[in-house]
Chains A and B, each alone.
Chain A
Amino acid sequence: QKEVEQDPGPLSVPEGAIVSLNCTYSNSAFQYFMWYRQYSRKGPELLMYTYSSGNKEDGRFTAQVDKSSKYISLFIRDSQPSDSATYLCAMSALSNTGKLIFGQGTTLQVKP
């Protein structure tokens, strides 16, 4: 079993839809949770990070962490064609290594 599970998709939605992306994990030591966006043939770009449980909102993006269920989500409101990319969740335990464990990534396509 992988430490972090993420449905690879692809996920196709119409422009303006609300998108829900999710990851589950097995390691209860994870404390830092991140979402990255990666366009084709490019490096990942940090979108949001959350420490421990709770919600965090930034513009059209909302990140949620439920540590009791070992489940994290990223919501995108009013999705745009420019949101079409691969979204990777990543996690890190409370340590001094900075080591990130990534999910497989979900490919999202927002159709005009």
Chain B
Amino acid sequence: GAVVSQHPSRVICKSGTSVKIECRSLDFQATTMFWYRQFPKQSLMLMATSNEGSKATYEQGVEKDKFLINHASLTLSTLTVTSAHPEDSSFYICSAGGGVAFSYEQYFGPGTRLTVT
């Protein structure tokens, strides 16, 4: 399968600061990338879908001004958590879809553990 990386793998930040998480598809071009968050012992909840060169589509209840998503190239998407608060602490996972109009095959990154103190 394709390889997706995330950086950093773990980050601790103070309340009120912003944190950027990078998601890279290493060996294929991803026209679509997805951002999920996962609470302990919970499933993955889709936050937003981003297509290269266009604005991200956010799921209901996700604040787009708080979770800024940029998909500037076919191999890189970033998620910035702005003015982070302790309730934003979670496991954030990205996935990348293949370069077709619809692909049910998503390749997931290893995740980023965010802790806001």
Given A41-B113, A97-B49, A98-B49, CB of A46 within 8 Å of CB of B44: no
Given A43-B93, A44-B93, A46-B1, CB of A98 within 8 Å of CB of B43: no
Report the Cα distance A93→B86, complex, angstroms.
Answer: 34
Chain B's nearest CB lies how many Å from the CB of A63? 13
Contact of B106 among A100, A101, A103, A105 (CB under 8 A): A100
Proximity bits, B30-52, A CB within 8 Å = 1, else 0? 00101000000111111001000
Q: Which residues of A contact B (CB under 8 A)?
A: 6, 8, 32, 34, 36, 41-46, 49, 88, 92, 95-105, 107
A to B CB contacts below 8 Å, 22 in the list? A6-B43, A32-B104, A36-B108, A43-B109, A44-B108, A45-B108, A46-B108, A88-B44, A95-B102, A96-B102, A97-B102, A98-B49, A98-B97, A98-B103, A98-B104, A99-B46, A100-B44, A100-B104, A102-B44, A102-B45, A104-B42, A107-B41
